[in-house]
Structure 1
Amino acid sequence: MFARETPAHVLSSTQPTPLTWGADWWVLACLAISLLLYVAGVAKLWPRLEGGRRPVLVRTAWFGAGWLAMVAALASPLDPAGGMLFAAHMVQHELLMIVAAPLLVLGRPFGPWLWALPSSWRRAIGRGVHWRPWALAWQAITRPLSAWLIHFAALWVWHAPPLFQRALVDDTVHAWQHASFLFPALLFWWAVLGARGPAPGAAMLYLFTTMMHTGALGALFALSGTVWYPAYGDGPLAFGLMPLEDQQLGGLIMWIPGGLAYVIAGLVLCLRWLAPGKSDAVNTA
């Protein structure tokens, strides 16, 4: 039930991909390990917290919601549907970039993950994190402008027809595509929502410009009269859609609900700045 060894996608309405739960073993392993380490870390920290447990419970809820969003994107029937329907593929990518990524950032997983490890491992990782080349590289890619550029490049480069269509028929490229959407999105949301995020005006600028360029890409799909990804073949017919209608629906999903997510994030940030004493849900302890 929970293992799929078939090729990435079967693009035919005559032999449609079964819409079942499951994923490749390594995807399931990564999901399971990330959750088990987080739970183990929180359990280890819990006795030490005494009066400071509420922020940890809130962050645990954020992480759990983000983890469930990843499961929905990567291990639910949405994943095989994304091989037949461009609109489903867009829902999958939006779940990773604008639902799972910010929720995981708000969950602050690094602390619990580290606490779940043996103390000798924690010390070794701490030394590695403070190793100057690594520290400089991390600072460089997590600066708001750098994270914004990485996120922008990943989104637009992977939607170029040759790369996107290659991901439809190659498991390895498909995995890289998902990683290239999730991890730059994590960097972007860390830069905006993290404890050392930019000033309020700058954060709003990054959110607004991201909403604009992602909306522009969605509008290109929604308003185009040409099918960008013919590799989907007759897959959309299995869902009662013509290929161009499928593309237009996917574009609308990226354009409108996708843009709304950045508006919501901006409102959350405004609430945090206006009521800093009540920001446990979106700030670190």
Structure 2
Amino acid sequence: MRTLGPALLSLCLALLAPASVWAHGADPHGDAPAWSFDPWIMLPLMLAAALYLCGTARLWRRAGMGRGVRYWQLALYVAGWLALAGALVSPLHWWGEHLFTAHMIEHEIVMVVAAPLLVAGRPLGAALWAFPDRLRRRLAGAARGGLWRWLSLPATATILHGLAIWVWHMPPLFDATVTHVGLHRAQHLSFLLSGLLFWWALLRRAHPAAAAGHLFITMVHTGVLGALLTFSPRVLYTQQTAHAALWGLTALEDQQIAGLVMWVPGGTVYAAVMLTMVSRWVRRSSRGWRPGDALRAR
């Protein structure tokens, strides 16, 4: 752990190096950091943006500008979409295939930055308006069905999201995603979908007190996982950390920094939203209180 300070500095300098550094044989795969335009990623991204923007435009034509989906919700959705696209399409994705720390940054952006921003933008309500009226009503009815109601329960969503995180971080499975494109796509899809479900349940359905409790649970168990990676005396992810030396890091240092990324920045986001929920709970409770209530309770 004493070497983490110099290791972090070395990592920052390496990530800021121009692509030409990697084009001269430093990378064992013979390629340089580049944008990735995988159709399995680009097409869903473009479809999601098209449905949201077309639905919002149609809704505003009928209800008036800023009605149904407010301007700030549109801004949050766009910010979440850009964060998601940046994580999956920018050179960060290339770095994530070569460096465990970058891979963890990519995952944290997907789960604790992009997912809550997308949910805050009210995506389902906007996207439904992109469909014809009759189909929209059918889809809205299906969205109120029993399966969705069960999946969007805060407890269910928290458990499913936690399982996705812990299962995919099993060392053999995580290492396999580095060499198998299909597994890598499945990993990112499960992180995104479970993250959207988790934030939807807490931001859209849960009572603020319950949401704070589920955020605390998630902060604790992800913190435990991050600490396990940070303080492990040996390398757990041999394939993912195989190229750490290209950034001046040992494999163990790469794993330790990745654990810190999950533990500290990720935990900070959960803690901030949790405190916001507690504040909302207190304000909601105080609005129902009147002077003299305590005396009458006695």
* Kept after mapping to 1: 8 A contact 2:69/2:122: no
1-side partners of 2:77 and 2:160: how far apart?
23
Residue number in structure 2 paired with 1:184:
194
Residue number in structure 1 paired with 2:60:
46
Q: Which amino acid aligns with 2:253?
A: E
The reply to whether residue 241 of structure 1 matches residue 255 of structure 2 is: no
Matches within 5 A, 1:74-223: 74-130=88-144, 135-194=145-204, 196-197=205-206, 199-223=207-231
Percentage of matched positions with identical amino acids? 43
Q: Return the offset for 1:274.
A: 5.2
Residue number in structure 1 paired with 2:266:
258
The reply to whether residue 35 of structure 1 matches residue 49 of structure 2 is: yes
C-alpha spacing 1:233/1:48, structure 2 compared with 1 (3 Å): closer
Q: Where does structure 1 lack aligned partners over 5 or more consecutive residues?
A: 1-11, 277-285
* Kept after mapping to 2: 8 A contact 1:17/1:81: no
2-side partners of 1:100 and 1:155: how far apart?
16
Residue number in structure 2 paired with 1:9:
none
Residue number in structure 1 paired with 2:20:
none
C-alpha spacing 1:27/1:51, structure 2 compared with 1 (3 Å): closer
Q: Where does structure 2 lack aligned partners over 5 or more consecutive residues?
A: 1-25, 285-298
Residue number in structure 2 paired with 1:4:
none
1-side partners of 2:281 and 2:58: how far apart?
32
2-side partners of 1:48 and 1:256: how far apart?
45
* Kept after mapping to 1: 8 A contact 2:226/2:260: yes
Aligned length: 259
C-alpha spacing 1:260/1:233, structure 2 compared with 1 (3 Å): closer
Deviations 1:180-200 (A, max 9, x none): 111111111111111x21x33
2-side partners of 1:129 and 1:233: how far apart?
42
Residue number in structure 1 paired with 2:289:
none
2:40 maps to which of 20, 26, 29 = 26
TM-score, structure 1 length as denominator?
0.85
* Kept after mapping to 2: 8 A contact 1:59/1:107: yes
* Kept after mapping to 1: 8 A contact 2:99/2:241: no
Residue number in structure 2 paired with 1:226:
234
Q: What secondary structure is seen at the aligned counterpart in 2 of 1:72?
A: helix
1-side partners of 2:229 and 2:113: how far apart?
21
Q: Which amino acid aligns with 1:73?
A: A
Q: What secondary structure is seen at the aligned counterpart in 2 of 1:216?
A: helix
1-side partners of 2:30 and 2:252: how far apart?
19
Matches within 5 A, 1:4-19: 13-15=27-29, 17-19=31-33
- Once the two structures are overlaid, the 10-residue window that deviates more, 256-265 or 118-127, is 118-127
Q: Return the offset for 1:219.
A: 0.5
C-alpha spacing 1:129/1:191, structure 2 compared with 1 (3 Å): closer
Q: Return the offset for 1:48.
A: 2.9
* Kept after mapping to 1: 8 A contact 2:59/2:68: no
* Kept after mapping to 1: 8 A contact 2:99/2:243: yes
2-side partners of 1:184 and 1:75: how far apart?
20
Q: Which amino acid aligns with 1:175?
A: R
Q: Return the offset for 1:239.
A: 1.4
1-side partners of 2:74 and 2:282: how far apart?
24
Q: Return the offset for 1:52.
A: 5.2
1:267 maps to which of 265, 268, 275 = 275
Q: Return the offset for 1:54.
A: 8.9
